[in-house]
Amino acid sequence: MAKEKMTAAQAVVRALELEGVDYIFGIPGGTILPIYDAMFSSKKLKHVLVRHEQVGAHAAEGYAHATGKVGVCFGTSGPGATNLVTGIADAYMDSVPLVAITANVATSLIGTDGFQEADITGITMPITKHNWLVTHPEDVPRVLKEAFYVARTGRPGPVLVDIPKDVLNMNVDFEYPDEVHIPGYLHEPKEKPRLGDAAQLIRSSTRPIIYLGGGVRTSNGFPEVFEFCELVGAPVVTTVHGKGAFPETHDHCLGMFGMHGARYANYAVQNADLIIALGARFDDRVTGKLSTFAPEAKVVHLDVDPAEISKLVTATVPLVGDLKVLLPQLGAEVKRIFQEKGRPDLAPWWKKVNDWRAKYPLRFKQEGEKYILPQTAVDRIWRKCEGRAIVTTGVGEHQMWAAQFWKVSAPRQFITSGGLGTMGFCLPAAIGIQCARPDALVVGIDGDGSFQMTLQDLATAVDLKLPIKIFILNNLFLGMVRQWQELFYDGRFSETPLSDLPDLVKLAEAYHCLGLRARTLEELDGVIDQALAHRDGPCIVDIRVKRQEKVFPMVPAGAPLHDMIGGD
């Protein structure tokens, strides 16, 4: 590519265009103005003006979740950059490919406590795969090429590029590199995978479980996972990010396990003699007390990140590599050994699993209740969406009810904040998802506490005429915290009741959204139908649910996975 003279700010814009970026989420400010000025004439980039930088980061996450592409967000120096931190940390925990571009004060002011100065590269070092402070304009093209490469390769994650304002105004002979050379960044496995050993374990197992995590999503390995699960014929459990990695409507799928997973799923994991973990990291929300987790199980652990192998649960056979590439190779070995030695008899195991499933189903009883149960609301919305919707959530009780009762049958249809557990994620993510998938039905399940973290960006959704539907399960509590207070703090509801403010219908109307409310079961179906039929911009639905309802089953913190409260 011939060199072209331009400012470093123009080089940023050109690099984004060459990377195939279509949406950027951000807010202009003093130091980042050169980039915004350069972007003004771009015909390829669409910028979404959010009302808070945290929303920009979460919207970029939603975009990345929904597409598998790298999400991009902007922040100006100081508070603009630090407002991105929560979204960057969320992306780091959930392996979301994200490029955050910030501008800093002029190089002469760095380290002087200048106006709106913050050491954003220092602040984000623990929560990014890598970050760069660019002090020479000629480095801009190379750094941005590296940033996108690092964000999307290996285990995906966020990166940050910080460029001082004076550097943005300097000239550069622009030439975008074709390849990336980062000697210290190695993401290819060094050792040959022990596929034969893993296949032998699978052949010898009579009580296997397949455990699917968010790595299935990041690898785009959905067809490979489906073929492997069908071949092995074992029960399948998922994490909250694994939802949709294998159809939850399939008879082999036991759904989500862990702290709020079904009893039958947890019992199956605890009684397994082999766990085949694919793109998962054995976090505390699924293992319970580590020393008591699946005591009789050997472990085949396949993950792209070698740091996750045996970090918490020791792998009998570690398999490091890209799931999309490595899993078909494992499947071929399993098929070969099945043909040579026969398939293991899983019928007794399936009988036990199905007995648990029949005895301990996820259930709720709306009959005889004066108030709408939140489980009823989720179930009704799911049924009326007929499996078409991409659903996103905030964080709290509503998130777990959605994870339990929203059955996902296709990839990238359940998008939430998992590792960091970020309240306020729902609305921003819905904005990013709808931008990425303009023809999709995008539904948010949120709580009244979580929604109020980022509700100001209804203005963004209205400006863009996005037909997102946000259903708020309103119990006038910080519900999950209240649940813990009731169960473990003798009912001392310290600072968890919420006042009935704002009026969510009037709030919606103030933002020129459609606002609806259901207080009774008789009103619920009509309100859902009206919301789903609305296509002229966002719709906010205030569903008044039973205030004291709790999420069951629940594994108390530090308890074994089989030691559950409720759900029996």
CA distances from 207 to 216, 237, 462, 479 (A): 23, 13, 52, 37
φ, ψ at 12 (rounded to 5°) = -60, -50
- Structure tokens, 384: 């009326």
115 is catalytic: yes
User: Do the beta carbons of residue 202 and residue 274 sit within 8 Å?
Assistant: yes
Q: Of 6, 19, 53, 397, which one is the catalytic site residue?
A: 53
- Structure tokens, 141: 């093209």
480 is catalytic: yes
- Structure tokens, 499: 């006042």
Q: Of 256, 480, 554, 564, which one is the catalytic site residue?
A: 480
Contacts 24+ apart (CB under 8 A), 179-187: 180/145, 180/146, 180/149, 182/146, 182/149, 182/150, 185/130, 185/150, 187/153, 187/154, 187/155, 187/304
Q: Of 3, 4, 44, 115, which one is the catalytic site residue?
A: 115
User: Do the beta carbons of residue 226 and residue 252 sit within 8 Å?
Assistant: no
Alpha carbon distance, N-terminus to C-terminus of the chain = 66
Which positions ≥6 away from 309 have C-beta within 8 Å?
301, 303, 315, 318, 320
Q: Of 129, 145, 165, 469, which one is the catalytic site residue?
A: 165
Give the C-alpha separation, 329 to 166, whole Å: 51
Q: Which has the closest alpha carbon to 279: 213, 325, 219?
A: 213
- β-strands 274-278, 130-133: how paired? unpaired
Kindly tell me the burial class for residue 436, based on how many C-beta atoms sit within 10 Å of its own C-beta (0-12, 13-18, 19 or more): buried
338 is catalytic: no
- Structure tokens, 173: 């002979």
Active site (catalytic) residues: 53, 115-116, 165, 480
